[in-house]
Amino acid sequence: MENPEKFKDNLANGERISVFQAESSASGSPPGTPGSQRTALILALCALIALVGWLGWQVYGRGTPLTPLTWEELAPPPEAAMRPWTHLVIHHSDSRKDSVASIDRWHRQKGWDGIGYHLVIGNGVNMGLGIVEPTFRWRNQREGAHAGGGEQGRPYNQLGIGICLIGKFNEEAPDPVQEARLAELCALLIRHVPTLSAARIIGHRDVPGKGTDCPGQLLDVERIRYLVRQRLAGAGD
């Protein structure tokens, strides 16, 4: 007959082994071993990266309220004489991930002297949501390279302010923040450039001789004109 004390010791050892095996199977590695510690560290780092990414999106993309646009920050330098602009030509980048820098690289690869637009409005991906960035063409009051259309479209490059919204508006509508920023920008330009008016806001597709659906079917240019008129009348300020 087995010694009772030895039987108790064997039973206790068996319970300890069972608990150890259960812990090991749950973690994939024996608890307290380097493998389990590495797993816990990796999970903690993943959670931290996710948190930082979320906070970055909130701050850079959506979380920071936009301050109103002012002419002081938008006006070209005094040495750059204002061109007698006649139109505001609205575009989309046809990509959700663009920025001023990426468009500038793309246009230079086409042999141009830089980005063809005068002003760009971000969508919160690689450029802050609603952020307006003037390009060298606006700062230096240079003609644009955005309208196309051959001889018929030439006046819209020479005297049309090209405004590009980052986005793909045949697939999704502009973010309401981006749309409101476009209306705010157009109203500010019209207030300070006497040759402009809400009636002279057009889409790229409206340029004579240019076969395109830019700025996309889901950007309503007539609605932008309406929002701009509201702002000019004081209702949107």
**53 and 155 co-located in one domain:** no
Note the pLDDT of residue 207.
Answer: 95
The 3-class SS string of the chain reads CCCHHHHHHHHHHHHHHHHHHHHHHHHCCCCCCHHHHHHHHHHHHHHHHHHHHHHHHHHHHHHCCCCCCCHHHHCCCCCCCCCCCCEEEEEECCECCCCHHHHHHHHHHCCCCCCCCCEEECCCCCCCCCCEEECHHHHCCCCCCCCCCHHHHHHHHHCEEEEEECECCCCCCCCHHHHHHHHHHHHHHHHHCCCCCHHHEEEHHHCCCCCCCCCCCCCCHHHHHHHHHHHHCCCCC
Say if residue 103 is in the same domain as residue 141. yes
Which string of b and e fits 92-105 if b means at least 16 CB within 10 Å?
Answer: bbbbeebbbebbbe
Domain assignment present for 96: yes
Pairing mode, strands 132-134 and 119-121 = antiparallel
- Position 57 pLDDT exceeds 60: no
How confident is the model over 133-155, as pLDDT tens digits?
999 999 999 999 999 878 898 99
Inside any domain, residue 10: yes
* Average pLDDT across the chain, whole number: 84
Q: Would you say residue 32 lies in a domain?
A: yes
At 33, the pLDDT band (50, 70, 90 cuts) reads low
Least reliable range by pLDDT among 172-176, 209-213, 219-223, 224-228: 209-213
Do 90 and 152 sit in the same domain of this protein?
A: yes
Residues 89 and 206 in one domain: yes
Mean pLDDT throughout 182-207?
Answer: 97
Domain containing 151 equals 72-232
Q: pLDDT value at position 43?
A: 74
Q: Are residues 84 and 163 in the same domain?
A: yes
Same domain, 104 and 215: yes
Residue for token pair 């590695």:
29
Classify residue 237: in a domain, yes or no: no
- On the question of pLDDT at 213 being above 60, the answer is yes
Residue 11 lies in a domain: yes
Total domain count for the chain?
2
pLDDT at 46: 63
Instruction: Indicate if 36 and 124 belong to the same structural domain.
Output: no
The predicted pLDDT at position 218 comes to 98
Whether residue 61 has pLDDT greater than 60? no
- Judge whether 186 and 88 are in contact, CB under 8 Å: yes
Tell me how far apart the alpha carbons of residues 124 and 63 are, in angstroms, rounded to a whole number. Answer: 10
Task: Express each pLDDT in 40-55 by its tens digit.
Answer: 777 777 666 755 444 4
Say if residues 28 and 36 touch (Cβ distance below 8 Å): yes
Q: Are residues 196 and 157 in the same domain?
A: yes
Of 15-19, 61-65, 111-115, which gets the smallest average pLDDT? 15-19
pLDDT band at 82 (very low <50, low <70, confident <90, very high): very high
What's the predicted TM-score (pTM) here? 0.74
pLDDT band at 187 (very low <50, low <70, confident <90, very high): very high
Residue-level pLDDT at 165: 98
User: What confidence category does residue 20 fall into, taking pLDDT thresholds of 50, 70 and 90?
Assistant: very low
Rounded distance between C-alpha atoms, residue 215 and residue 196, angstroms: 20
- For residues 178 and 141, state if they share a domain: yes
User: Is 217 within a domain?
Assistant: yes
Regarding whether 90 and 10 lie in a shared domain, the answer is no
CB 73 within 8 A of CB 146: no
Is position 59 within any domain?
Answer: yes
